[in-house]
Structure formats: structure tokens, C-alpha cells
Amino acid sequence: MSLVRLEGVAKHVILPDDSRLDILRDIELDIPAGDHVAIVGRSGSGKSTLLNLMGMLDRPSEGAVWFRGELVRRMRRSKLDKLRGRNVGFVFQQFNLLSGRTALENVEMPLGYASGRAFWTRRRAATAMLERVGLGHRTDSTPEQLSGGEQQRVAIARALVRRPALILADEPTGALDVETGGSVMALLDEIASEADAALVTITHDLHVAARARRHFRLEGGVLTPFELSAPAAGAAAAAAYERIDIAPELAESVGEPRSDGAGEAAADRIEVAS
Ligand SMILES: Nc1ncnc2c1ncn2[C@@H]1O[C@H](COP(=O)(O)OP(=O)(O)O)[C@@H](O)[C@H]1O
Ligand SMILES: [Mg+2]
């Protein structure tokens, strides 16, 4: 079943000098429940704008966004907020945790708006989620006392504590070193699969993109599918590095340095953490 669907979606803004900036053009994207999609593109290519449309935080200039078969623009504000709070979990590059609040308070926060049982059992749910991300011993630590990787694990726990059907991750490893980023992504993947949530990861890192089942690139506001053969998944492979081939134009579209040495094969070789 289709979870979120974008149909002929375009986004433009009018700049102060009255010129029009086309950020997204004619986007067609259908994400079924439990899917894992990666979208790659250079900085400024419209990735966050696209993610905000999928997360129903923003409205398209043209076209339609559907969530579980319902047209988002027909929904009342209150219903939309509720639907989003209940079904969408966001993970950001800069973690966006509340400073001075403990990990437990941060993870509990989304459940503060829940009703009934989910509200009353929020402490237990948040504790369990922190245990799930390997931070059961750090529930009382504030973000200031945690490393970048740990903060992102808290942010993942916060995004998942309401068991959302859709997880939207905007450059989740952008502020982490390669190794920490790899383990954070492995965790995000695992938890998303366990919960049967759809995961959309926005990244300019092909290592990260390789984990997804389907891949798209965003360039000049146009979304195009591409093939990126994911290395064997699984915990055993998590620490391993594998080499995969990507087409040169893709390397360019994500801003990877390319080697143009004579005698090189047609494709660039990029190191991909599996
Ligand atoms: N509200 C806005 N007003 C003006 N320009 C915007 C607005 N939102 C996004 N943009 C521009 O649209 C482009 C795409 O932005 P964004 O989606 O944040 O890209 P990405 O996440 O891929 O870096 C950028 O050039 C950005 O400056
Ligand atoms: Mg962005």
C-alpha cells in the first residue's frame, strides 16, 4: 500500500527581486509502507525541500501529496498536525535535541502530545527506546555530555518512540565521521525494519545511500531513479568496506571528487561502507 505519494509536485518561491526560483519540478514518487529509499544530490539541489513536502511540513506549489491515500491539502491543520505527529519521525543532521534536557526527556517529548495510554506510559517507552539504541546507561545525560554519534542515537530514539510509519532522515550522518555515521545508519536501518517503518534517507554520501533498497538523485529540481547495488546487508558486513562502481555523472551529481586519469575505466570507483 502506498504510504506517501507525490504526484506532479513542483515547488517554487518568489525571490525579493520578483524572480522565480524553481526548486522542484514535476516530482513523481511513491513510497510504500516499509520501503527504504535514498535520495542523493548536491547541496542546494532541493533535498530538504522535498523531505519537508513528504513530511507534510510544507505544501507544494503544484501537484499533490497523498498520505495513505488521503490528499494532504484537503486536511485541516489540526488533523494534519496530529497525523504528522503520529506517523512521521524526523532525524536531522544537527540532531536538534533540546540542550540542558536529559536524553530521556528528549525522547519522551513527542509522547507529551500523545493521548491515553501512550501518554501515561511515555517514560517506559522512552527508556525502552533508549535501551534499543544502546543508551540505556545514559538516560540522564544531557546532549552536552554526549558525543555526536550518541546524540544522533538519542535523536533516532526520539524519532521512533511513537512508532511512526515514516522516518525522514535529512543527512543523518552529515555531522559524523565515516565510521560513526556507518554504525548510526546501520542502527537506523535495523530499527526501521523492525518497526516496518518506511525510511527515506537524504544524503550526499554514497556510502549511506548504498544501504537503501531504491535510489534517486535530485539534480536541478528533477528526481531520477538510479541503480546502486547495495553491498550485502547484515551486522557481519557492517564493519566491512566494499568497492562499488558508480557512473561518473552520478559521482558528479553528488559532488564526489572524480579521478580522470588516463586508462581509467568508464566508471569511478568509490569506497562504500556496507
Ligand atoms: N523559502 C525559500 N526561499 C528562498 N529560497 C529557498 C527557500 N527554500 C529553499 N530555497 C532554495 O532552494 C534551494 C534548495 O534548498 P534545499 O531544499 O534546502 O536544498 P538541499 O537540502 O538539497 O541543500 C536552495 O538554493 C535554497 O537556497
Ligand atoms: Mg538540506
Model-level pTM? 0.85
> 87: part of which helix (H) or strand (E)?
helix 77-87
Ligand 1 close to Cβ of residue 23 (< 6 A): yes
Give the pLDDT band (50/70/90) at residue 250: low
Q: Report phi then psi at 241, rounded to 5.
A: -115, 140
Q: Hey, whose CA ends up nearest to atom 1 of ligand 1?
A: 13
Q: Is 21 helix (H, G, I), strand (E, B) or coil?
A: strand
Which CA distances in Å does 137 have to 12, 127, 129, 133, 157? 46, 10, 12, 11, 14
- Is the confidence at residue 173, as pLDDT, over 50? yes
Q: Please, which residues have CB less than 5 A from ligand 2, an ion?
A: 47-48
Q: Hey, whose CA ends up nearest to atom 2 of ligand 1?
A: 13
- Is the confidence at residue 241, as pLDDT, over 50? no
Starting at the edge strand found earlier in the chain, the sheet holding 2-14 runs 20-32, 2-14, 62-67, 70-71
User: For the chain, what is the largest distance between any 2 Cα atoms, rounded to a whole number of angstroms?
Assistant: 66
| pLDDT tens profile 27-69 | 999 999 999 999 999 999 999 999 999 999 999 999 999 999 9
Which set of grid coordinates corresponds to residue 37? 529509499
- State the residue range of the domain holding 94: 2-273
CA 196 to ligand 1 center in whole angstroms: 31
Average pLDDT, the chain: 86
> 193: part of which helix (H) or strand (E)?
helix 178-194
Which set of grid coordinates corresponds to residue 76? 485541516
Q: Which CATH number goes with the domain that contains 147?
A: 3.40.50.300
Ligand 1 close to Cβ of residue 45 (< 6 A): yes
d(CA 163, CA 107): 12
Q: Who's near 129: CB < 8 A, 6+ residues apart?
A: 107, 157, 158, 160, 161
Nearest atom, ligand 1, residue 170 CA: 21
Residues in the chain: 274
Nearest atom, ligand 1, residue 218 CA: 22
Which CA distances in Å does 196 have to 33, 142, 160? 7, 30, 11
Residue 209 pLDDT: 93
The answer to whether 154 and 106 have CB atoms below 8 angstroms apart is: yes
Residue 245 pLDDT: 42
Q: Report phi then psi at 40, rounded to 5.
A: -115, 155
The number of distinct structural domains making up the chain is: 1
Of residues 55 and 242, the one with the higher pLDDT is 55
The answer to whether 97 and 106 have CB atoms below 8 angstroms apart is: yes
In angstroms, the first-to-last Cα distance of the chain is: 29
